Amino acid sequence: MTPPTERHPSRGTEDPRIRRSWLAFAGAFFLLGLIAVFRLWVDPRLSNWAIALLIVVVGFAAVRHRIAVQDLEAGRRAEAESFARILQGLSRSISPDAIVEAIVEELGIGTGADHIVIVRRRPDARVLEATLVNARTGGSTSSTLFPIADLEDPPDLDVGRWGREPVAIPIDIEGDVGLALSGARPRLGGDAVTVTAGAPRRSGRRMPANAPAADFAATIAGTRSSRLRDLDPDRLVANRIATRARAVFGLRHTLVTPLTTDGGMIGALLISRRTAGAWPAAAHRLLVGAAIEASAALSRVYSHRQAEARASTDGLTGLPNRRYFDEFCALLSRRRRAEDSVGVLMIDIDKFKVLNDTYGHPVGDEVLRAVAAAIVGAVREDDVPARYGGEEFAVLLRNPTIEVAVEVGERVRAAVAGLDLARFGVRAVRVSVGAAVAEDPDEPITATIEQADRALYDAKRRGRDRVVAA
């Protein structure tokens, strides 16, 4: 937490040149006041009284102006320092949760918001995660999920529908979105809707007050559609997300801006307060700036995670690769408890080189994908399958007995044997499986892998298409 003395800068940091100019002005004004008093004392005419009164009024206005300038400078300085702290927090953030934490605290202080909501796409699922932070209760949070359609569906340009038969009332359309008739119902919160008296205009033409109702409705609808097409689609989507956030969290007076990256929109940033009235310009600037920097930070974190996932995933089969498998085994070794047992299956496709030479590498790749899918479907939920290299696969078994390891190996062998590969011209594929279990927590998993590998070669020597336990 930043100390309060650092959050609210004092007025003592005024530029020395401004201070010197003000002192010169105040000194000259003081002398002018003395001259006016002297003139009144010598000659108390009405004109001298008027001059003295005018000097008092000008002096009062000058003091008020100085106070206003100081308040404006202090506000801008506080805004810049809040934004700098947001940037500093984001630069250190290595996770989406840390990014949220870096944003919300300063947004609440800098904008005077009671609540901050950040809605972002989950990189691991097709949902939106909405996090509400209460800025008035020490940053307490609550999270919920929004449907991905709020983000991915195209913006609805028809934001209002005729609620009844339109009547020829002279109405002027202003602002970004015009809903001219009293029966129109905005569905995006009405923030961009302004209706004033006058006559409808479209492309510089004026609609007569006695025009037919159908022509009037068509004119209004055409104007609305053309102006909506000029709106930023991301902002329309952000308004849609804000509408749901207001309904779900019970928020009232809100301000929202989209979160966008080079790959498109990923969510929205929303602030809310209990009191009505227009948000100050500083709140708009701080919200937009925070959204830009948060979008960049989230994009950086997501890209880093995707790069890590690509580095740990076999591109052909989609299974974890050997690097991930070895790292997972090392992590599991450090966290094993005394009662935990670990098993390993080593699986090799029989005569895969012959299959590749006969049918070609593209068919061989399809066979590898099919075998990988069969292995995933045959192992247990807690087991970890991986492509170990070439046509060889490995499965890490959690807490098995040797009988369970052999049973899982038999399921894998049967699942591969049951694959229908006729569309590739391949009649059947078989695998050999070696199984090993380490019940002693002090036994390295690497030793268990070596035992399973020796059992695999034993299965090959015995005629292939079988499971052999170490």
Burial track 254-270 (b if 16+ CB lie within 10 A, e otherwise): bbbbbbbbeeebbbbbb
Pair 332, 342: CB distance under 8 Å: yes
CB burial string 330-367: b at 16+ within 10 A, e below: eeeeeebeeeebbbbbbbbbbebeebbeebeeebbebb
Token duo for residue 212: 């037919």
Query: 124 by DSSP, 3-state: which?
Result: coil
Q: Are 413 and 435 in contact (CB under 8 A)?
A: no
Annotated catalytic residue: which of 174, 391, 439, 450? 391
Provide the CA 378 distance to its chain's centre, in angstroms.
36
**Which residue is it, tokens 């695998």?**
431
CA gap 258, 237 in Å, rounded: 8
Nearby residues of 346 by Cβ (< 8 Å), 6 or more positions away: 388, 392, 393, 394, 433, 434, 449, 452, 453, 455, 456
- Cβ(265)–Cβ(258) below 8 Å: yes
| CA nearest to 411, candidates 390, 423, 395 | 395
Question: Which of 260, 270, 265, 248 shows the shortest CA–CA distance to 155?
Answer: 265
Tokens of 178: 């015009």
**What backbone phi and psi angles, to 5 degrees, belong to 458?**
-65, -40
Helix, coil or strand: residue 30: helix
Q: What is the distance between the alpha carbons of residues 334 and 338, in angstroms, rounded to a whole number? A: 11
Six-digit token pair at 127?
């949902």
Enumerate long-range contacts of 245-251, CB under 8 Å, 24 or more apart: 245/117, 245/119, 245/130, 245/132, 245/146, 245/270, 246/189, 246/272, 248/130, 248/144, 248/146, 249/115, 249/117, 249/130, 249/132, 249/142, 251/115, 251/117
Torsion 366-368-370-372 (CA) sign: negative
- DSSP E strand boundaries for 282-416: 342-349, 384-389, 392-398
User: What single-letter amino acid sits at 148?
Assistant: I
Q: Tell me if residue 450 is catalytic.
A: no
Catalytic residues: 391
